[in-house]
């Protein structure tokens, strides 16, 4: 490194301080890990079930967010309608609301006696609380705002004249969306999807409040960690280690491939 490129010392110190906040807990986790028992712990039913449920819930939430969140972001960014600011606030609510409260309001709305839940049960027989569907709903509720916020920002920053140019070249509105708008905001969409997935993987409060906690059906990794923390510390540490390993792998490996925008 040449002298010119050396970063200012003060900045470096602050940056390292910030890094320490993330690095020290990880090191502590590694120190606490019962490496000898790890293989046995990881083979247990609880871990396998939690891992499977977390994968199902986080990937489902990400897919749902992609299907309904991107159009929602488009609506907020591109369509002027009265009360748009209010709607945007509503979408951001899960970011502010404590997840436990989020779970509680979901229960009020979609629980068996909830406004919508009651009708849902009568119409389809589906009861969301205490089911894997409930986990997916809770996790999507908490994580989707990350996608909406990222994509809305990207749509706002996108120079709308490109879309106009595409239209003058004969592209229908749908073609413009598919071939111009979407490819141009793709880096942000990808970043938003990854953030959404990461948040979904770590979701705890809304899940346990809305969907309950039962192994194999609603007990995701964070719930399993929470329960294990009170009884079997080693299992809790092993589960946490899995979460860290899975998320770090995804975040690091995928970054180079398709979400450099973040």
Partner 1 sequence: MLRSVLAGVFAAVVVGGCAPAGGSRILVSAAASLTDVFGAMEVAFEEAHPGSDVVLNLAGSSMLREQILEGAPVDVYASANRENMTQVAAADRVDGEPALFARNRLQIAVPSGNPAGITGLDDFARDELLLGLCAPDVPCGAFAEKALANAGVTPAVDTYEPNVRALLTKVETGDLDAAIVYATDVLSAGGKVDGIDLPESVRAETDYWIAVIADAPDRDGARRFVDFVLSDAGREILTSYGFETP
Partner 2 sequence: MSGLDAQMVVRRNGFVLDVALEIEPGRTVALLGPNGSGKSTVVAALAGLLPVDEGSIVLDGAVLDDPTGRVFVPPEDRRIGVVFQDYLLFPHLSVIENVAFGLRSRGVGRSEATDTAAGWLERLGIAELVERRPGDLSGGQAQRVALARALITDPKMLLLDEPLAALDATTRVELRRILADHLAAFAGPRLFITHDPTEAFLLADEIHIIEHGRVTQVGSADDIRLRPRTPYIADLGGSNLFSGDAARGVVDVGGHALHIADTHISGSVLATIHAHAISLHQHRPEGSPRNTWETTVTRVEHFGDRVRVQTGAPLPITAEVTPGAVADLELREGSAVWVSIKATEIGVEAG
260 binds partner 2 (CB under 8 A): no
Site mask for partner 1 (CB under 8 A), range 170-199, x = bound: ------------------------------
Rounded Cα gap, residues 244 and 181, in angstroms: 35
Rounded Cα gap, residues 239 and 83, in angstroms: 44
Identify the residue among 53, 180, 190, 235 touching partner 2 (CB under 8 A). 180
245 binds partner 1 (CB under 8 A): no
Q: Are 128 and 207 in contact (CB under 8 A)?
A: no
97 binds partner 1 (CB under 8 A): no
Residue 235 touches which member of partner 2, partner 1, none, C-beta under 5-8 Å by kind: none
231 binds partner 1 (CB under 8 A): yes
Count the residues of the shown chain that bind partner 2, applying the rule CB under 8 A. Answer: 19
Identify the residue among 61, 139, 166, 223 touching partner 2 (CB under 8 A). 166
Residue 49 half-sphere exposure toward CB, CA atoms < 13 A: 14
133 binds partner 1 (CB under 8 A): no
Please report how close the Cβ of residue 182 comes to partner 2 at its closest, in angstroms. 10
127 binds partner 1 (CB under 8 A): yes
Q: Which residues contact 247 (CB under 8 A, 6 or more apart)?
A: 198, 201, 202
Please report how close the Cβ of residue 216 comes to partner 2 at its closest, in angstroms. 44
Residue 230 touches which member of partner 2, partner 1, none, C-beta under 5-8 Å by kind: partner 1
Rounded Cα gap, residues 201 and 135, in angstroms: 11
Rounded Cα gap, residues 246 and 229, in angstroms: 20
202 binds partner 1 (CB under 8 A): no
Q: Which two tokens stand for residue 149?
A: 């916020």
167 binds partner 2 (CB under 8 A): yes
Q: Which residues contact 182 (CB under 8 A, 6 or more apart)?
A: 189
Q: Which two tokens stand for residue 171?
A: 């592209």
Q: Which is nearer to partner 2, 97 or 167 (CB)?
A: 167
| C-alpha to C-alpha distances, 71 to 74, 82, 187, 201, nearest whole angstrom | 5, 18, 16, 23
Binding site for partner 2 (CB under 8 A): 159, 161-162, 164-173, 175, 179-180, 183-184, 186
């Amino acid at each position: 490194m040449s002298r010119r490129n050396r970063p200012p010392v003060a900045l470096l110190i602050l940056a390292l301080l910030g890094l320490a906040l993330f690095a020290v807990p990880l090191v502590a986790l590694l120190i606490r890990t019962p490496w000898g028992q790890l293989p046995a712990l990881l083979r247990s039913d609880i871990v396998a079930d939690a891992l499977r449920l977390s994968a199902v819930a986080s990937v489902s939430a990400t897919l749902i967010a992609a299907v309904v969140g991107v159009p929602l972001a488009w609506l907020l960014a591109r369509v002027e309608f009265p009360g748009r600011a209010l709607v945007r606030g509503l979408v951001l609510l899960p970011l502010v609301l404590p997840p436990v409260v989020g779970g509680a309001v979901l229960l009020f709305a979609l629980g068996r006696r909830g406004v919508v839940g009651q009708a849902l049960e009568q119409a389809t027989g589906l009861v969301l609380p205490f089911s894997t569907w409930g986990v997916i709903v809770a996790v999507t509720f908490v994580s989707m705002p990350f996608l909406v916020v990222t994509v809305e920002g990207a749509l706002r920053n996108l120079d709308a004249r490109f879309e106009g140019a595409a239209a003058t070249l004969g592209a229908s509105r749908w073609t413009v969306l598919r071939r111009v708008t979407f490819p141009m905001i793709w880096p942000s969409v990808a970043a938003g999807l990854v953030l959404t997935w990461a948040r979904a993987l770590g979701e705890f409060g809304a899940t346990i409040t809305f969907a309950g906690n039962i192994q194999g059906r609603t007990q995701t990794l964070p719930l399993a960690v929470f329960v294990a923390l009170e009884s079997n510390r080693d299992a809790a540490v092993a589960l946490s280690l899995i979460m860290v390993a899975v998320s770090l792998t995804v975040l690091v490996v995928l970054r180079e491939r398709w979400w450099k925008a973040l």
